[in-house]
């Protein structure tokens, strides 16, 4: 039998591993049936971190189940990912920010009431379910607690009150101790919690908590066997004070994983000058009373489990509500497997504030930070309202994605609509600003849809959910290209196709070799709110000019482009047409050279 102690910033817990069993520890571990699974509240650990198996020689086989995170040892070599080592007890290992101590089970330490002969307690174990017929099996076996309708209603009301209390508070534990005396009819009741293997009293009725005493032998037996025990203390020896006990009852408070977090302990005292009589129910603890204490322990466990779940849910919401909508958070809480690494099609959006560097040069750091926060907060609101997932903030920019962690059928369209909303929001911010420099701020948005590996991209010591791969890099380069073209929103052809972006909502502007990329990318200029400035005929002429240019007919492309510029009411502000015009002029000066169908953009 092993004692396993887990310590990190959110945990200080002890688990008992019975003989012949294995334990698996991890952030989201799901062990096989019959294996003790211990969840580590530590984002720096792996989902499945380590396995502990007691061997026949008393040593413990420690297996590193993680493919990424090493297990550290205070002395000796680390246990490499997927490695293993056999260690003698006691020993300590660490993973992430969690320390795991393993020790062979220590012998019980007698407490002040575990007097001479207390190790030979004649205790009974409650192992069966409540059977109402046992209460009426005969007058000779009638319990000292009357089993009546009124008592039943009183008991259940008390149990419900315990469950409804604020679990973990002093009032919660005090209600349990009070119920042990007032509900069960014991002389005193204690609530004991475990901390680093030692039990301490957190609430008492019938004596002062600071002066509370209990039989450590009984408590240890209850903890080790995870069973409710009750009965007389047969071999206490001469009774010397009113503190001596005739009988005790102890019930374990169990977690869902069957580990013990505490014990509800109660007792009947011996009248001064009298020795306990095992046949005297007035001075002992009956099975009915033991079952009631067991029900109290179950109610306490339910309350604590609820409190832990609420705390974990609150922590989970705190981790993710900043990055995704409440609807997505609820889906993640219902199915944590959505956060598991997976390869899928996602739409990635990068948004950067244009002109911000120049603005910062004119503002003090406080005002600069205020402007940045205000703009990025509004952009983040647009992303969350569009059910996007915020991947990261970087300087004066933000990155988001769709279709992960939750599947979204129209993720490309959702990202495009989000870009449109960001444009409208920034326009409103510019119009409302009283600072002349803020009225010139714009955004650059790049969107691309493709396959990415989504999961933890923060490394082994930091949880940071997001995408990795070429799709992410390309979306970033597309956002950078908005500077070159002088437009707000560019997207890849794949995003435009999946989002069904067609004129006049957007226009194809050709293929371009972006900075630090190997292959040309087909780009679309999203016109959005500016589409009203372009007629259908103007967009058709521009599209013809692009097609002619890419087919190598530069002179015909130049004629079409001039016709477009002559007819377009937006010619003076069409920076995309300017880029194409400059490239046509450059190639016209070198008619003998062979030119690729795409345009090279040398800078990000």
**Average pLDDT, integer, range 517-528:** 92
pLDDT score of 275: 43
| Between residues 311 and 8, the one the model is more confident about | 8
What band does 313 get if pLDDT is binned at 50, 70 and 90?
low
**Average pLDDT, integer, range 411-424:** 96
**Average pLDDT, integer, range 245-252:** 82
pLDDT score of 162: 64
From CA 345, how far away is CA 407, in angstroms rounded? 10
pLDDT score of 129: 40
What band does 511 get if pLDDT is binned at 50, 70 and 90?
very high
* Most trustworthy range by pLDDT among 29-43, 203-217, 255-269, 508-522: 508-522
pLDDT score of 321: 66
Chain segment 103-135, per-residue pLDDT in tens: 876 444 333 333 323 333 456 666 544 333 333
**Average pLDDT, integer, range 502-513:** 94
Strand partners, 2: 17, 104
pLDDT score of 409: 92
Q: At what angle do helices 470-485 and 575-588 cross, to 10 degrees?
A: 90
Indicate if the pLDDT at residue 156 is higher than 70: no
- Give the least confident one: 106-110, 217-221, 253-257, 562-566: 106-110
What band does 142 get if pLDDT is binned at 50, 70 and 90?
very low
| Between residues 145 and 518, the one the model is more confident about | 518
The fraction of the chain above a pLDDT of 70, given in percent, is: 77
From CA 230, how far away is CA 460, in angstroms rounded? 48
Indicate if the pLDDT at residue 417 is higher than 90: yes
Q: Which domains does the chain have, with CATH numbers?
A: 2-104 (2.60.200.20), 118-310 (3.30.450.40), 335-600 (3.30.70.1230)
- Give the least confident one: 16-20, 70-74, 230-234, 419-423: 230-234
Chain segment 160-179, per-residue pLDDT in tens: 666 566 555 557 888 888 88
What band does 241 get if pLDDT is binned at 50, 70 and 90?
very low
pLDDT score of 385: 93
State phi, psi for 32 to the nearest 5 degrees: -70, 165
Burial class of residue 77, CB neighbours in 10 A (0-12, 13-18, 19+): exposed
Chain segment 317-326, per-residue pLDDT in tens: 666 767 777 7
From CA 73, how far away is CA 88, in angstroms rounded? 13
pLDDT score of 122: 57
pLDDT score of 526: 96
From CA 175, how far away is CA 205, in angstroms rounded? 9
pLDDT score of 158: 65
Q: pTM, whole model, 2 decimals?
A: 0.55
What band does 242 get if pLDDT is binned at 50, 70 and 90?
very low
Chain segment 22-72, per-residue pLDDT in tens: 889 988 776 566 788 788 888 888 888 999 998 888 889 999 998 888 999
Chain segment 466-493, per-residue pLDDT in tens: 899 999 999 999 999 999 999 999 999 9
Chain segment 371-394, per-residue pLDDT in tens: 788 888 999 999 999 999 998 888
Strand partners, 87: 60
* Most trustworthy range by pLDDT among 33-42, 204-213, 215-224, 594-603: 215-224
- Give the least confident one: 110-119, 150-159, 260-269, 388-397: 110-119
What band does 151 get if pLDDT is binned at 50, 70 and 90?
low
Q: What is each CA distance from 227 to 215, 222, 224, 252, 258, in whole angstroms?
A: 16, 6, 8, 6, 11
The fraction of the chain above a pLDDT of 90, given in percent, is: 32
What band does 264 get if pLDDT is binned at 50, 70 and 90?
very high
Q: Is the sign of the CA dihedral 217, 218, 221, 224 positive or negative?
A: negative
Q: Find the Cα–Cα–Cα–Cα dihedral 216, 217, 221, 227, rounded to 10°.
A: -70
Mean pLDDT score of the chain, rounded to an integer?
A: 79
Closest residue by Cα to residue 237 from 118, 124, 123: 118
- Give the least confident one: 254-263, 477-486, 535-544, 550-559: 254-263
- Give the least confident one: 70-79, 224-233, 309-318: 309-318
Which helix H or strand E contains 53, and what residues bound it? strand 50-54
| Between residues 150 and 15, the one the model is more confident about | 15
Give CA 375 to chain center in angstroms: 28
**Average pLDDT, integer, range 520-548:** 91
Indicate if the pLDDT at residue 143 is higher than 50: no
Q: Are 362 and 301 in contact (CB under 8 A)?
A: no
């Amino acid at each position: 039998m092993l004692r396993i102690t887990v310590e990190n910033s959110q945990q200080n817990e002890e688990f008992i591993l019975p003989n012949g069993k294995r334990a698996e520890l991890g952030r989201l571990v799901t062990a096989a049936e019959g294996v003790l699974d211990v969840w580590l509240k530590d984002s720096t650990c792996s989902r499945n971190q380590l396995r502990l198996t007691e061997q026949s020689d008393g040593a413990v086989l420690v297996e590193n189940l993680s493919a990424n995170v090493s297990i550290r040892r205070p002395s000796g070599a680390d246990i490499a990912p997927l490695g293993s080592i056999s260690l003698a007890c006691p020993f300590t290992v660490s993973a992430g920010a969690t320390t795991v101590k393993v020790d062979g089970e220590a012998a019980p330490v007698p407490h002040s009431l575990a007097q001479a002969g207390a190790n030979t307690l004649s205790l009974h174990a409650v192992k069966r379910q409540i059977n109402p017929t046992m209460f009426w099996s005969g007058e000779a076996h009638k319990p000292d607690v009357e089993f009546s309708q009124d008592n039943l209603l009183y008991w259940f009301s008390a149990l419900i009150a315990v469950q409804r209390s604020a679990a973990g508070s002093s009032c919660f534990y005090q209600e349990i101790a009070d119920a042990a005396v007032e509900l069960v009819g014991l002389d005193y009741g204690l609530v004991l919690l475990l901390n680093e293997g030692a039990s301490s009293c957190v609430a008492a009725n019938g004596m002062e908590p600071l002066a509370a005493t209990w039989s450590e032998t009984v408590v240890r037996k209850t903890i080790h066997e995870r069973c409710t025990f009750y009965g007389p203390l047969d071999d206490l020896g001469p009774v010397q004070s009113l503190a001596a006990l005739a009988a005790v009852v102890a019930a374990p408070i169990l977690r869902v994983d069957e580990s013990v977090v505490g014990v509800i302990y109660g007792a009947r005292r011996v009248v001064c000058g009298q020795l306990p009589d095992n046949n005297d129910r007035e001075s002992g603890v009956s099975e009915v009373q033991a079952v009631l204490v067991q029900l109290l322990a179950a109610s306490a466990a339910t309350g604590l489990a609820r409190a832990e779940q609420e705390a974990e849910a609150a922590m989970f919401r705190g981790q993710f509500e900043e990055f995704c909508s409440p609807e997505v958070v609820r889906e993640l809480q219902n199915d944590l497997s959505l956060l598991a690494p997976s390869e899928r099609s996602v739409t990635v959006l990068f948004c950067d504030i244009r002109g911000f560097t120049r603005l910062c040069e004119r503002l003090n750091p406080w005002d600069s930070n205020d402007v940045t926060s205000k703009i990025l907060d509004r952009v983040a609101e647009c992303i969350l309202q569009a059910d996007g997932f915020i991947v990261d903030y970087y300087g004066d920019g933000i990155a988001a994605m769709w279709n992960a962690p939750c599947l979204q059928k129209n993720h490309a369209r959702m990202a495009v609509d989000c870009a449109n909303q960001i444009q409208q929001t920034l326009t409103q911010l510019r119009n409302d600003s009283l600072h002349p420099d803020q009225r010139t701020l714009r955004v650059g948005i790049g969107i691309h849809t493709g396959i990415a590996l989504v999961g933890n991209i923060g490394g082994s010591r930091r949880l940071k959910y997001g995408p990795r791969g070429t799709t992410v890099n390309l979306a970033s380069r597309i956002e950078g290209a908005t500077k070159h073209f002088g437009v707000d929103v560019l997207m890849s052809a794949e995003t435009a196709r999946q989002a069904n972006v067609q004129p006049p909502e957007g226009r194809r502007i050709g293929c371009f070799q972006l900075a630090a990329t190997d292959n040309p990318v087909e780009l679309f200029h999203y016109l959005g709110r500016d589409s009203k400035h372009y007629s259908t005929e103007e967009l058709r002429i521009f599209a013809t000019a692009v097609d002619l240019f890419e087919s190598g007919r530069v002179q015909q492309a130049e004629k079409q482009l001039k016709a477009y510029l002559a007819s377009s009411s937006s010619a003076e502000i069409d920076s995309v047409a300017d880029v194409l015009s400059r490239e046509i002029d450059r190639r016209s000066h070198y008619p003998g050279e062979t030119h690729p169908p795409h345009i090279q953009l040398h800078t990000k």
